[in-house]
Amino acid sequence: MGRERAILPPVAQRIPRQVTIHGYVETDEYAWLADKTKTDPEVLGYLKAENDYAIAMMESTSELQESLYREMLGRIQETDQNVPYRKGGWHYYSRTEEGRQYPIYCRRRVATEEIGAEEVVLDLNQLAEGRAYFSVGDYEVSDDGRRLAFTTDAEGFRQYDLFVKNLETGEVTPRLAERVTGVVWADDNRTLFYTEEDEVTKRSNRFYRCQIDGRGAELLYEEKDELYRIGVARTRSGGYIVLTSSSFTTSEVHYLAAARPAGDLRRLRARREGHEYYLDHLSGTFYVRTNDRGKNFRLVRIPVEAAELTEWPEPVEEVIPHRVETMLEEVDCFAGHLLALEREDGLSRMRVLDLGNGEWHSIEFPEPVYVAGPHVNAEFESKTYRFSYESLVTPRSVFEYDLGTRDRQLLKQQPVLGDFDPQLYRSERLFATASDGTRIPISIIYRRELELNGQRPLLLEGYGSYGISNDVDFSSNRLSLLDRGLVYAVAHIRGGGELGKEWHDQGKMMQKMNTFTDFICCAEHLVGEGYTSPDRLIIMGGSAGGLLMGAVSNLRPDLFKAVLSYVPFVDVMNTMLDASLPLTVGEYLEWGNPNEQPAWEYMRSYSPYENIEAKEYPAMLIRTSLNDSQVMYWEPAKYVARMRTLKTDQNPLLFRIKLEPGGHGGASGRYDRLRDLAYDYAFILNQVDGQVDGQVDGQVGGPVGGEAGD
């Protein structure tokens, strides 16, 4: 990076440790970073040295970072309020104030708009005072509106403490429980049900009933099987508390009536390997989304009284059949309507069933690339439905849809200050062809006036794990790259959920390599179609997407100019072999169990840490947090340390680690997040310096960026 050449990178101590597994001897020179505690002076010393090095190496871009920060901040309406939603006799909303990091949660009585009528329910800025990190997890108001149950994390480790606030007096209880993962109220407004995670593995495994009048918590259920985690919810009808225990392939549901909180849990159906089912309720009927007839689920309904029978009456009434081409992702039940949230051709769909006349209709969306999903719909007896919609071009928008007339009203669109004009941008859906003939979708956006001659810098993002769909979204921050002439694309690779359950299955376990080769074929397609070239192609991914970044960098380092990897899962073998680490055992159903030799050999073939070689690699920026509870800090630390000893190029390798409290998603404060993003964008622009256009009065103009990269 120009004048930074004289700065020497940190060198981690090498203490080889050998482990023999399945007849193979593995040597790990940096295992000490995992073996020692995160407060150990040697560990902290090395991590701080990496941080200092990364900051120094980017010092020449400090003005660009500040410019990017101000630019991105200038598009945000700092003092703002989201769309209020009704629950009982109140309208609830959150708002932000200029200069304050966190939102303020508020409410007003229905039909009360006079000055002074606002009631502050929870001010996160006050709670976060003096803290480097703060997050609220659950936020549940009792039916009578008198109490708030909420959970907080002040470290970033996703370990949440439970409190209850009396909204009439403002009094907050002492901590009622720790490591809480979910909370719901019963009908009586004083009984809480909550789930709690294991202290070591962080697997959500215990279910409690708690009387907030002082009686202690009662353990109702404990999930013993380490492959399963539990979650609690209350049906929108308010009728039932639902406890779902699930692995990555199987689920089981218990329930009890919310009006009888002292009652016993009942099981809907015993677990059967490979059978997933999920429960909702309305009008004396259970609606069950089940994969018993196919991977993409169908919907059946069963009278509540029949659900408790040993054998359900056959044939069970089918509401939505299984369809090979359509994934039934969720069902949303209201008093008079049912919403089916589906995915087809990689796009989200919404269909409405009128329970009165049995007629179906679809909610239509205008763009070829978008994402739509439910907004807050707290009222069961509602004739309208709120959903959010956004695309690469359209800012996040909240609509209210009349379920009867089918009219929609835009309630709010995310403000983008300045001279943003969506007509200046073009979004497309492309398809790359994998080596086995599978068509892989790519979503893409760029300025309309760009000449796509193979010379444009392009940022390609990917994820591809857990059946999670990597949906496109709108980002006002991204405009700082687009307006400088970069193209942005998302590769919807196998392992994700964009094209249904089969799409996920084709990119996990012993087919995981498809995820990586799909991403490479997307990159090759973009090069071949003239969108970019390898010396202008930058790739980005986080968590399991960070594993993707590590794998494709090993497989095809020649294809990429630079890599941004966030909290990357790159030490796959060592993590999956340590069952004491958070969430590891349950992950066997996604990655395989390395204690079994075939799974170990397959994982060994792609695990980024083990496959680093003495060759040239792209420039890299890797980020993590010391308190990340999902991907431990030592994974990227070990990866960087080994990469430094083996790579033969002079390209920058930068490692930023948040030593102050921070989590899997980085900083919690909105201004802090923008500062981090300005650094990352400056890194990108520095790598393609001389290949991008500057921004002058909102138009594409002259050069910008730091010094040329090494």
Write out the catalytic residue numbers. Answer: 543, 628, 664
Q: Kindly state the tokens that stand for 615.
A: 């060759």
Whole-angstrom CA distances from 258 to 187, 234, 655 are 5, 8, 50
CA atoms of 68 and 61, how far apart (whole Å) = 10
- Residue 477 CB-half CA count within 13 A: 17
Starting from the edge strand earliest in sequence, which strands make up the sheet with 425-433, in order?
A: 425-433, 439-447, 487-491, 458-462, 537-542, 562-566, 619-625, 653-658
* Cβ-based neighbours of 535, under 8 Å, separated by 6 or more: 561
Instruction: Give residue 168's Cα distance to chain centre.
Output: 35
Q: Are strands 699-700 and 360-363 parallel, antiparallel or unpaired?
A: unpaired
Measured CA to CA, the distance from residue 638 to residue 622 in angstroms comes to 12
Indicate left, alpha or beta for 705 from its phi (over 0: left) and psi (-120 to 50: alpha): left
Rounded (to 5) percent helix, strand, coil in the chain:
20, 35, 45
Which H helix or E strand runs over 643? helix 634-646
Task: Evaluate whether 137 touches 151 at the Cβ level (below 8 Å).
Answer: yes
Provide the sign of the torsion angle of the four alpha carbons 268, 271, 275, 277, taken in this order: positive
Give the single-character DSSP code of 249. S
Task: List the one residue out of 517, 508, 502 whose CA is nearest residue 544.
Answer: 508
Give the span between the Cα atoms of 533 and 526, in whole angstroms. 8
**Burial letters 44-59, b for 16+ CB under 10 A, else e:** bebbeebbebbeebbe
Dihedral sign, Cα of residue 674, residue 130, residue 50, residue 12: negative
Cα dihedral 669, 674, 680, 682 sign: negative
